[in-house]
Amino acid sequence: MSDIASSSFVRRDLLTERPAPVKTTGFVGLMRTRLFNSPTNILLTIVGALLLWFTIVPSVRFLMVDAVWSGKDRTACLAENAGFAVGACWPYIQAKLPQLIYGFYPEAERWRVNLTFILAVALLVPLLVPRLPAKGLNASLFFFAFPVVAFFLLHGGGIKGFGLSWTAGLLELFDDSIIGAGQAVLGLSKTSAVAPLLWVVGNFIVLVGTAISWLILPLTWLRDQIQGAGQSVWADFAVTTAVVSLIAFGLGGGLRTGWRALASSIAAFAAIAVVIKLMGLDRGGLPVVTTNLWGGLLVTLVVSVTGIVTSLPIGIALALGRRSSIPLIRIFSIAFIEFWRGVPLITVLFFATYMLPLFLPGNFTVDGLVRALIGIALFTGAYQAENVRGGLAAIPRGQGEAAAALGLSWWKTTSLIVLPQGLRHVIPNLVNSFISLFKDTSLVSIVALFDLLGSLRASFSDPKWSTPSTAFTGFAFAGIIYFIFCFGMSRYSLFVEHRLNAHRRN
């Protein structure tokens, strides 16, 4: 680099590589170069240190140093008995822990909740660790089998039929509602000005309903036969297995390539049979514990896990719908998203809990917890839709064109090219909504569901444990629980982001 100033230069020897200079800053170096290198930084360092001093020291004092660790009731946590200004009253949490985890779930049945938790962890952890194999089986167990098993474990009860009678029942309900609507129109035709028209329409609807009832007659007849015989569940199960397996066999390619589909279908039904037998679902199952007895962490986890798992598919569907070129789908998606985003969650929960029953037909009731679940899933789904849309918008048009030029259909382009890239862009936003959903589950306590926070507040009223620090201890405990879950989600999302964006690093 010497004679570069002169106008012509030709390098004779290429320079060899040298190692980078070693960093020489230790702790003192760091202090000097980063913390105390200018008047502003000195001031900021002092302010930061003071902030830490005034937050961390009192927290540690309250939670650990001044805390009472053992005792039988409130007397242990009173300053005059302990001999010092009492901080956290941990025996209170210890005494109330069952209530905070299970709510009013009957004590004899709590093993079912524990078993559900264990099942969930056993299925979720392998799903989250990328190195472990069989992700497909694991995912289908967690997303499809586990919710059903968890329902029968937590709620209890058995089944009276299987696929065949459920299909028959559903079709019958559908048909009844058609005939009901037809008769309602006929009823109107007696008083209306356009009576002849209504009469024709009403009769037509009733006719269609009757036609359908004839169409499904073989199914309902078979159902009645099975119900009449003993062992109705197993007879129905066998029929359903045969029908579904045959369909899988046909769709899988028939005699030539269908054997694999047939085998996996039969294996799945065999597994279902084992579960039914193990849980005794054919003989009434476990004792029913209605959802108004559920509470505490159980409700928080049920609501948030269901919300997280269902809101993402809803969001993806709505985001795709909003970008659709079909006007009806696009308008529906926009209206749906804007409606749910424009309404506060509390309103949604109130509406779902107290007003929805007024709109539903009289004999049709939905469980209170399920109503809150649906409300939260749709609410979060609308938010996720906008997150996903942001990711989709970041994909260059050329990606879709390249996929189209290779002959990929819209569905394949979307699921193989656009969504995998789009979702990776918005992992932080998606997890942001999940975390926000997790904390928003505490709002269900205003519609008479006792989640973790609700159970906690209920426990404050127990005179046995009323001390000056009870409420602080309780909220500190709830805060720690919420923090563990939310921080866990946050860290895991960073890990996923890092892993999935491997292609963006050079």
Residues of the shown chain interacting with other proteins in the complex, contacts defined by CB under 8 A: 396, 398-399, 401-409, 412, 416-417, 420-421, 424, 500, 502-504, 506
Cβ closer to other proteins: 424 or 439? 424
Structure tokens at 105: 């779930």
- Per DSSP, what are the bridge partners of residue 296? 451
Q: What CA–CA distance (Å, rounded) separates 229 from 232?
A: 6
In the Cβ-directed half-sphere of 433, how many Cα atoms lie within 13 Å? 25
CB of 413 to other proteins, least distance (A): 10
Q: What CA–CA distance (Å, rounded) separates 370 from 250?
A: 36
Structure tokens at 496: 């996923």
What's the count of helices (H) and strands (E) in the chain, helices before strands?
Answer: 24, 2
CB of 250 to other proteins, least distance (A): 18
| HEC assignment per residue over 468-497 | CCHHHHHHHHHHHHHHHHHHHHHHHHHHHH
Cβ closer to other proteins: 115 or 395? 395
Cβ closer to other proteins: 362 or 398? 398
Distance of CA 158 to the CA centre of its chain: 25
Contacts of 71 (CB under 8 A, 6+ apart): 77, 89, 91
Cβ closer to other proteins: 346 or 394? 394
Element (H, E) at 271: helix 259-279
Cβ closer to other proteins: 11 or 505? 505
Cβ closer to other proteins: 183 or 399? 399
Task: State in Å, rounded, how far the first CA of the chain is from the last one.
Answer: 30
Cβ closer to other proteins: 491 or 499? 499
CA distances from 135 to 28, 127, 143, 235, 253 (A): 49, 6, 12, 33, 25
Q: Is 109 exposed, middle or buried (0-12, 13-18, 19+ CB in 10 A)?
A: middle
Q: Helix, strand, or coil here: 157?
A: strand
Cβ closer to other proteins: 39 or 407? 407
Cβ closer to other proteins: 158 or 390? 390
CB of 265 to other proteins, least distance (A): 21
Structure tokens at 418: 């656009």
Q: Tell me the one-letter amino acid at 164.
A: L
Q: Helix, strand, or coil here: 325?
A: coil
CB of 397 to other proteins, least distance (A): 9
Cβ closer to other proteins: 121 or 406? 406
Cβ closer to other proteins: 23 or 505? 505
CB of 502 to other proteins, least distance (A): 7
CB of 500 to other proteins, least distance (A): 8
Which of 506, 482, 462, 479 is CA-nearest to residue 92? 462
Structure tokens at 395: 């994909």
CB of 393 to other proteins, least distance (A): 16
**Is the sign of the CA dihedral 160, 164, 167, 172 positive or negative?**
negative
Cβ closer to other proteins: 287 or 420? 420
CB of 503 to other proteins, least distance (A): 4
Element (H, E) at 111: helix 110-128
**Is the sign of the CA dihedral 217, 220, 226, 227 positive or negative?**
negative
CB of 254 to other proteins, least distance (A): 16
Q: What CA–CA distance (Å, rounded) separates 442 from 345?
A: 11
CB of 421 to other proteins, least distance (A): 5
Could you give the angle at which helices 232-251 and 163-189 cross, rounded to 10 degrees?
90
Cβ closer to other proteins: 48 or 420? 420
CB of 498 to other proteins, least distance (A): 14
CB of 401 to other proteins, least distance (A): 5
Q: Is 350 exposed, middle or buried (0-12, 13-18, 19+ CB in 10 A)?
A: middle
CB of 398 to other proteins, least distance (A): 4
